[in-house]
Structure 1
Amino acid sequence: MTDSPDPVQSAVTSTGDNMDGPKLVYILYFIGFVVGITAIAGLIVAYLKRGEAGPNATTHFTFQIRTFWIGLLFSIIGAVTSVIFIGVLILAATVVWALIRLIKGFMLASDDKPIPDPATWLW
């Protein structure tokens, strides 16, 4: 008996990146706006999947990880400065910034496209 490759596995690996992981993380981040703990679950998934992902998916995982940490940084700054009015503006801007990044990333993942610059602080 010869060891022939599994046709299903070959089809999955030959088509390139599997974007299910990045899409899951984006969905967990979206839900995180209502139930905060899911954003942490998304961060854990992104860290765990980044090492085994293809090149396109890796850009999404890097983008998602950076979105979490940058968003957390500005959320803390906004919370600390919320005793003065500027903190409320920082928090609102952080929510808008995160939503833009998440929507853009999800749309690119749905089209099986990489993030052009995953290290950017903008969108």
Structure 2
Amino acid sequence: MAEETPAPVTTNPHSDDLLMPKVVYILYILGPFVTFTGIIGVIIAYIYQGSAPDWLKTHYRFQIRTFWMGLAFLIPGILLAAVFIGWLVLLFWAVWLIVRSVKGMKTLGERKPVEHVERWSF
């Protein structure tokens, strides 16, 4: 009796491509709680955007823009923290960053490009 050889395991050739964008989104989600994770995330996004497929480049551009737009909220929030309005700005920044990152991760999981990368909204 001949031995049957197992069927080769097929893997998605682009599954490894999703790892680094997921890492960046997770680093951004941790940003309000852990210092410097956002900086690490944006560095990763800048490094990996050049070799990514076009649909994945939209995620890296979205992540890079999220970092710089977030900085536009974070700096005034920190400067105004001595007064109440600064804490409100920081709270808005944290919610905005987490919502954008979760929505980006959801889109990434669906293997879809980010639409409207240039928007400031969620």
TM-score, normalised to structure 2, is 0.81
User: How many Å separate the matches in 2 of 1:31 and 1:95?
Assistant: 10
Q: Which residue of 1 aligns with 2:79?
A: 80
Q: Which residue of 2 aligns with 1:21?
A: 20
Gaps of 5+ in 1: 1-10
Residue 95 and residue 32 in structure 1: after superposition, are their counterparts in 2 closer, same or farther (change >3 A)? closer
Between Structure 1 and Structure 2, whose CA radius of gyration is higher? 2
User: How many Å separate the matches in 2 of 1:116 and 1:70?
Assistant: 17
Q: Which residue of 2 aligns with 1:47?
A: 46
Q: Which residue of 2 aligns with 1:7?
A: none
Higher helix share: 1
Tell me which amino acid in the other structure corresponds to 1:106: M
Contact 2:29 2:97 in 1 (8 A): no
RMSD of Structure 2 on Structure 1 (CA): 1.9
Tell me which amino acid in the other structure corresponds to 1:109: L
User: How many Å separate the matches in 2 of 1:81 and 1:41?
Assistant: 25
Shift of 1:16: 9.4
Tell me which amino acid in the other structure corresponds to 1:97: W
TM-score, normalised to structure 1, is 0.81
Contact 1:17 1:55 in 2 (8 A): no
Shift of 1:80: 1.1
Q: Which residue of 2 aligns with 1:36?
A: 35
Provide, for residues 92-111 of structure 1, a one-character-per-residue CA deviation record: whole Å limited to 9, x for no partner: 11111111100100111111
Q: Which residue of 2 aligns with 1:116?
A: 115
User: How many Å separate the matches in 1 of 2:95 and 2:62?
Assistant: 16
User: Runs of at least 4 residues of structure 1 off by over 4 A?
Assistant: none
User: How many Å separate the matches in 1 of 2:83 and 2:30?
Assistant: 29
Q: How many residue pairs were aligned?
A: 111
Provide, for residues 20-48 of structure 1, a one-character-per-residue CA deviation record: whole Å limited to 9, x for no partner: 22111111222333322222111111000
3-state SS of paired residue (1:120): coil
Contact 2:25 2:41 in 1 (8 A): yes
Q: Which residue of 2 aligns with 1:61?
A: 60
Gaps of 5+ in 2: 1-11
Tell me which amino acid in the other structure corresponds to 2:67: F
**Any residues of structure 2 matched to 1:4-19 within 5 Å, and which?**
12=13, 18-19=17-18
